[in-house]
Amino acid sequence: MLQRIQTVYLILAAAVSGGLIYVFELWTLPEEVKVFAKDINYVFAGFITSAFFSVVTIFRYKNRKSQFMLGRLNIILNFILLGFFVYQSLNLSGETNISEKGIGMLIPIISIVFLALANKAIKKDEDLVKSVDRLR
């Protein structure tokens, strides 16, 4: 059912992964050039894939197990993106001209929080359905 709370969480995760990448920069180079996620192809692909997984997960409401599995895959994808950003930020700080890190590096963390909340709600629904099935 689309009117569940996990739908709200998944929509927020899709909006964060698909929309905020155009608003917040990942880092600023020493030449005052702002780098956004759309400027790096594999990072952009990771964010768009995360947003796509969130939208697909919304419409898998009839199969809660696949919904839960897609949520976990999406969390893993966001951890990979976060790992890349941590690695990149450690490399940026070693430059002679210090680059500024942007708030865009925190986008995967926000997405992971919404996805974890959605998975918690999906698990709660699955447990409720199992308990009702036991009474039949």
In this prediction, residue 93 carries a pLDDT of 55
**Nearest residue to 129 (alpha-carbon basis) of 57, 73, 58, 65:** 65
Please state, rounded to an integer, the average pLDDT across all residues of the chain.
87
Average pLDDT value for residue range 76-101: 78
Average pLDDT value for residue range 16-28: 88
Residues in the chain: 136
φ, ψ of residue 63 to 5 degrees: the values are -120, 90
pLDDT more than 70, % of the chain: 91
